[in-house]
Protein backbone atom coordinates (compact mmCIF):
# COMPACT_ATOMS: atom_id res chain seq x y z
CA UNK A 1 0.00 0.00 0.00
CA UNK A 2 1.04 3.53 -0.61
CA UNK A 3 -0.53 6.84 0.36
CA UNK A 4 -1.39 8.34 -3.01
CA UNK A 5 -3.55 6.05 -5.11
CA UNK A 6 -4.23 3.50 -2.41
CA UNK A 7 -7.76 2.13 -2.54
CA UNK A 8 -8.93 4.00 0.54
CA UNK A 9 -7.59 7.28 -0.84
CA UNK A 10 -9.30 6.76 -4.20
CA UNK A 11 -12.66 5.83 -2.65
CA UNK A 12 -12.52 8.80 -0.25
CA UNK A 13 -11.90 11.16 -3.19
CA UNK A 14 -14.78 9.62 -5.17
CA UNK A 15 -17.17 9.96 -2.23
CA UNK A 16 -16.29 13.64 -1.69
CA UNK A 17 -17.65 14.85 -5.01
CA UNK A 18 -21.37 14.88 -5.85
CA UNK A 19 -20.66 13.81 -9.43
CA UNK A 20 -18.76 10.65 -8.41
CA UNK A 21 -20.32 9.95 -5.01
CA UNK A 22 -22.68 7.21 -6.27
CA UNK A 23 -20.25 5.31 -8.52
CA UNK A 24 -20.29 1.67 -7.38
CA UNK A 25 -16.84 0.60 -6.19
CA UNK A 26 -15.69 -3.00 -5.95
CA UNK A 27 -12.53 -3.59 -3.94
CA UNK A 28 -10.25 -6.53 -4.73
CA UNK A 29 -7.22 -6.59 -2.48
CA UNK A 30 -4.48 -8.86 -1.27
CA UNK A 31 -4.50 -7.08 2.07
CA UNK A 32 -6.27 -8.98 4.84
CA UNK A 33 -6.72 -6.02 7.14
CA UNK A 34 -10.06 -6.04 8.99
CA UNK A 35 -9.65 -2.33 9.72
CA UNK A 36 -9.30 -1.54 6.01
CA UNK A 37 -12.37 -3.59 5.20
CA UNK A 38 -14.38 -1.75 7.86
CA UNK A 39 -13.12 1.59 6.51
CA UNK A 40 -14.09 0.66 2.95
CA UNK A 41 -17.52 -0.54 4.01
CA UNK A 42 -17.90 2.74 5.91
CA UNK A 43 -17.29 4.50 2.60
CA UNK A 44 -20.16 2.49 1.14
CA UNK A 45 -18.24 0.33 -1.33
CA UNK A 46 -20.48 -2.00 -3.29
CA UNK A 47 -18.38 -5.09 -2.58
CA UNK A 48 -15.11 -6.00 -0.87
CA UNK A 49 -13.07 -9.08 -1.76
CA UNK A 50 -9.72 -10.39 -0.63
CA UNK A 51 -7.56 -12.46 -2.96
CA UNK A 52 -8.01 -15.12 -4.01
CA UNK A 53 -11.60 -14.28 -4.91
CA UNK A 54 -14.14 -16.44 -6.66
CA UNK A 55 -14.70 -15.48 -10.30
CA UNK A 56 -18.40 -16.13 -9.83
CA UNK A 57 -18.57 -13.83 -6.80
CA UNK A 58 -16.80 -11.08 -8.76
CA UNK A 59 -19.13 -11.53 -11.74
CA UNK A 60 -22.14 -11.32 -9.43
CA UNK A 61 -20.82 -8.14 -7.79
CA UNK A 62 -20.22 -6.51 -11.17
CA UNK A 63 -23.72 -7.40 -12.38
CA UNK A 64 -25.27 -6.10 -9.16
CA UNK A 65 -23.30 -2.86 -9.43
CA UNK A 66 -24.46 -2.12 -12.98
CA UNK A 67 -27.76 -0.37 -13.67
CA UNK A 68 -30.38 -2.96 -14.71
CA UNK A 69 -30.37 -1.94 -18.38
CA UNK A 70 -26.59 -2.37 -18.58
CA UNK A 71 -26.45 -5.50 -16.44
CA UNK A 72 -28.76 -7.38 -18.79
CA UNK A 73 -26.68 -6.32 -21.80
CA UNK A 74 -23.26 -6.83 -20.22
CA UNK A 75 -21.13 -9.75 -21.23
CA UNK A 76 -19.65 -10.49 -17.84
CA UNK A 77 -18.60 -13.95 -18.95
CA UNK A 78 -15.34 -12.24 -19.96
CA UNK A 79 -14.63 -11.15 -16.38
CA UNK A 80 -11.54 -13.03 -15.22
CA UNK A 81 -9.21 -12.94 -12.27
CA UNK A 82 -5.51 -12.72 -13.01
Q: For residues 9 and 1, what is the distance between their CA atoms, to the nearest angstrom?
A: 11
Q: Model pTM?
A: 0.76
Each residue's pLDDT, cut to its tens digit, for the chain (82 residues) gives: 444 448 888 999 999 999 999 999 999 998 888 988 999 999 999 999 999 999 999 999 999 998 887 766 656 555 544 4
Task: Please report the pLDDT score of residue 4 as a whole number.
Answer: 45
pLDDT of residue 18: 96
> Torsion angle, CA of 50/17/19/61, rounded to 10 degrees?
10
Sign, CA dihedral 55-56-58-62, equals positive
Cα(30)–Cα(51) distance, integer angstroms: 5
Amino acid sequence: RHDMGAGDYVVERLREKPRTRDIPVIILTGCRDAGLEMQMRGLNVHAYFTKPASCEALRTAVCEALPPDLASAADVSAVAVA
